[in-house]
Structure 1
């Protein structure tokens, strides 16, 4: 049975969170002399440390209690704080699947936590047989599942994720950075069933706020309390909070732009399948497409020469390139460039 108290680092259990001036006084006043702020300017006051306005809006949209929502400095903060809360450096472990998002590895290394990386099957699914031997390891505290997965674009089998949640005694973080583009249901709807579930989402992708750096974690309130306990006092700026609120106040435009991207993805998939040297176009539940070509390194360089930047994922999936869905104009330029390129059929040279 899952026990949150058993997997929290002892120093985090004993930690007394920093109490900022804006934590100690909530509400509106005429004179603020509590936070050593400069009295001049328009950005002179500290932002809301708990991002209450955003949480209230998300609570209504997602049908989740606001006490089950954490707002982070990008979803990377959600990942990093999980290591800080649950993993003792040099002792505990985390687990993920490969190929997947590279920040799990980076955050594990920064926090001196061993990361187990299990290879996905040929169709990019989780091999439950290779996983089961690890689930009983008392030093394994975190499992990261990116679904839709980056860079493969597919969602993982729901039943396998639920199996992991039910059998694992640690924290399972389902990273849904691309869920807004997916036809699959978010695991937010499973929060009541699994006390060890954390669902991570972001405003960087479908919400077009990559430069704003705002991520979200949804979990039971006890886990969210730990996140709020460990985070920096003012981890999301006022400007960034306002940018998110502006987007959340215009969901109709969000839906329009998302549907444009999805329509462009459908067109691009068909056009890519007609390019001779593209050997495979993988199905995608995200805002990108993974393609397999005869020589990823060569194709990437040829596109760079034409001022078109894609992501060479040859180091993760052999001879594969990841293509983000752009505007209609950008996608047209890509297809025109691919049609002009001469990539030698069957060439498999690889300098990596």
Structure 2
């Protein structure tokens, strides 16, 4: 049975987190002489001489309204990559523990495992890009702490069968991390709604994709309060800067605009699929619940080089397991998509 104390690293259990100046008082204040900041301000039009809110309270409250989950169940990081790294550092003993990843998938899980000296056991997806539950069960041992599942998956674009994820959640004694970076483009509902059902569930989301804030580096983790408390204890004290917090708040007030972009992206995705499948060098286009499509071709390297020479950059995934011969193409604006299609018409 899952128990957070059975998987948490001993040094993290005993860790006394860094106590920042902003953590050590309650209430309102007007004179701040506690953090060795520059009292005169910043050499900018806007003032950034004060440290940011270490727990991003205002941003979490707005996210709480949008996502329908209490703020205490939200972690905000410097991109989702920080949340991934903190999960490794909190729950995986270097050189001892292992995690399970299910390629083809987001490459940062493997990179974080390597950085933290944690074995990443690969269980390939099936030919239709779904979980191999039997293979995952065989790979789990007493030192398996985390299972990473990207849904909708990158680079394949498809959503993972919900029932299969729930099977893992119900039977695995470690954490199941569901990375929903592309959930805004999907027909599948978010796993955030299942947080009260599964204590070992962590859901990752981001403001980088549908929200168009990749340059601000705002990632989110949604989990039980006890998991969020661990992540807050391990993170750097001021991990999300003040400008990112302010701009995120401004963006989160524009839900209707973002929803309009999502609808347009889905229309353009359908347009690309219909047009690209007509090219004779295209063997298959896989079903997508994301803002990109994975296209299997007869000559991925040749097409990629041809497009680069024309100033068009797509992602060559032909060396990724189960994606041989495939290009990942992001859905652009109508004008960008027209340029892509017109250029592909000239490929010999």
By the TM > 0.5 criterion, same fold? Answer: yes
Q: Distance in 2 between matches of 1:7 and 1:94?
A: 12
Pair 1:55-2:37 in alignment: no
Q: Distance in 2 between matches of 1:50 and 1:291?
A: 41
Q: Give yes or no for contact 2:100–2:136 (8 Å, CA) kept in 1.
A: no
How big is the shift at 1:26?
4.3
Q: TM-score, normalised by structure 2?
A: 0.97
Pair 1:94-2:99 in alignment: yes
Residue segments in structure 2 that go unaligned for 5+ positions in a row: 42-46
Correspondences of 1:1-352 after superposition (within 5 Å): 1-41=1-41, 42-135=47-140, 137-316=141-320, 317-342=323-348
- Runs of 4+ displaced beyond 4 Å: none
Q: Distance in 1 between matches of 2:167 and 2:326?
A: 30
Q: Distance in 2 between matches of 1:219 and 1:152?
A: 26
Q: Distance in 2 between matches of 1:26 and 1:203?
A: 30
How big is the shift at 1:256?
1.1
Q: Distance in 2 between matches of 1:259 and 1:27?
A: 43
Q: TM-score, normalised by structure 1?
A: 0.96
How big is the shift at 1:27?
4.1
How big is the shift at 1:25?
2.6
**Which residue in the other structure is 1:347 paired with?**
none
Deviation digits for residues 136-184 of structure 1 (CA, Å, limit 9, x no counterpart): x110000000000000000111111000001100011000000011010
Q: Which moved more, 1:126-135 or 1:144-153?
A: 126-135
Q: Distance in 2 between matches of 1:25 and 1:294?
A: 64
Q: Distance in 2 between matches of 1:40 and 1:296?
A: 57
Q: Give yes or no for contact 2:121–2:139 (8 Å, CA) kept in 1.
A: no
Residue 318 of structure 2: SS of its match in structure 1? coil
Q: Distance in 2 between matches of 1:25 and 1:34?
A: 10
* Pairs aligned (count): 341
